[in-house]
Amino acid sequence: MTLTTVLLLAAALIGIGVYGALSQQSFVMLMMGLELMLNGVMLAAIGFWAMSGAGAPEGQLLTILVMAVMAIEMAMGFALVVAVYRGKQADVTESIADLKG
- Spatial separation of the C-alpha atoms in residues 80 and 85, rounded to whole Å: 8
Q: How many CB atoms lie within 10 A of CB 98?
A: 6
Q: What per-residue string of b and e applies to 42-68 under the rule 16 or more CB within 10 Å gives b?
A: bbbbbbbbeeeeeeeeebeebbeebee
CB 41 within 8 A of CB 10: yes
Task: Please report, in tens digits, the pLDDT of each residue of the chain (101 residues total).
Answer: 888 999 999 999 999 999 998 998 888 888 889 889 989 988 988 888 888 766 677 777 878 888 898 899 889 988 888 888 888 777 777 676 665 55
pTM of the complete model: 0.74
CA 33 to chain centre: 6
